[in-house]
Amino acid sequence: MNNKLLSGIGVVALVIAIFYFYWWNINTSSNKNYQDLTKQLKVSHIIHNPDKKLLSFSLVDHNNNKFDNNNFKGKWTLLSFIYTHCPDICPTGLMDMSILKSTLIKRDVNIVPSLVAITFDPARDTPSVLKTYVTHFDKDFLGVSGDQVQINQLIRPFGTYYERVIYAKNGKSTVLKNDEPLPKDALESGYLINHTAWIYLLSPDGQIFAGFPAPHNPIKMADDIELFIKNY
């Protein structure tokens, strides 16, 4: 009787031990490799977090097709958030992404990443506006527009944020947070957008993998991405 009780406790303890061992192993193994990589990285930050998945979203690409979570799956994607009234930062970022793509194609890993640019500013950047704009930088670019609220939700896990700036005739500026509505005449008078300017890498599971802060160096970014893909 006593023996039975003891062996029962033993089995339960063993099961718990095995469970913890696996749990610990799963948790560390998926992060551990990438933690080790961190030391070797030149210009990127690993954002990969198995516990934080992208929320489901549904937007519209520049050919008026649906663009949702599935569009990120099964391939590596380079993504940035832009607006077409941006004269300086966004064109630089889009050009860098195109250079990065052609650099990666020539590397050992030999991948052709998808190039995606999602607008902060769907009120002005309709799908057709985006199509003409982004394909100027690379014919393979896909511009994405859609519902402002969905875009605001989507950018959050990336750590991306923006604010609109309206200049009055007297030179005074008003800053609007992203969820504040635009005044009626803002579309006519124009506004600028202050924003973060990272480029992101999404892995074939459709999740955020890494981020690259500006200013961008496409050659060093390609070095890091090669490392990611070899260790993925």
Q: For residues 138 and 96, what is the distance between their CA atoms, to the nearest angstrom? A: 10
Cβ at position 192, least distance to other proteins in Å? 5
Cβ at position 66, least distance to other proteins in Å? 24
Q: Which helix (H) or strand (E) holds 114?
A: strand 114-119
Q: For residues 221 and 97, what is the distance between their CA atoms, to the nearest angstrom? A: 10
Cβ at position 165, least distance to other proteins in Å? 7
Is the Cβ of residue 59 or residue 99 nearer to other proteins in the bound state? 99
Q: Give burial (CB, 10 Å; 0-12/13-18/19+) of 2.
A: exposed
Contacts with other proteins, residue ranges (CB under 8 A): 84-89, 91-92, 95-96, 99, 124, 129, 132-137, 159, 161, 165, 167, 171, 173, 190, 192-198, 213-217
Is the Cβ of residue 88 or residue 179 nearer to other proteins in the bound state? 88
Q: How far is CA 188 from the centre of its chain?
A: 31
Evaluate whether 131 touches 62 at the Cβ level (below 8 Å): yes
Cβ at position 211, least distance to other proteins in Å? 10
Cβ at position 17, least distance to other proteins in Å? 44
Is the Cβ of residue 31 or residue 92 nearer to other proteins in the bound state? 92
* Sheet strand arrangement including 66-68: 45-46, 208-212, 199-202, 77-82, 114-119, 141-145, 58-61, 66-68
Is the Cβ of residue 29 or residue 171 nearer to other proteins in the bound state? 171
Is the Cβ of residue 9 or residue 175 nearer to other proteins in the bound state? 175
Cβ at position 132, least distance to other proteins in Å? 5
Question: Would you state the structure tokens that stand for residue 11, as one six-digit string?
Answer: 């089995």
Q: For residues 207 and 53, what is the distance between their CA atoms, to the nearest angstrom? A: 6
Question: Would you state the structure tokens that stand for residue 21, as one six-digit string?
Answer: 């061992």
Is the Cβ of residue 1 or residue 87 nearer to other proteins in the bound state? 87
Q: Which helix (H) or strand (E) holds 167?
A: strand 162-167
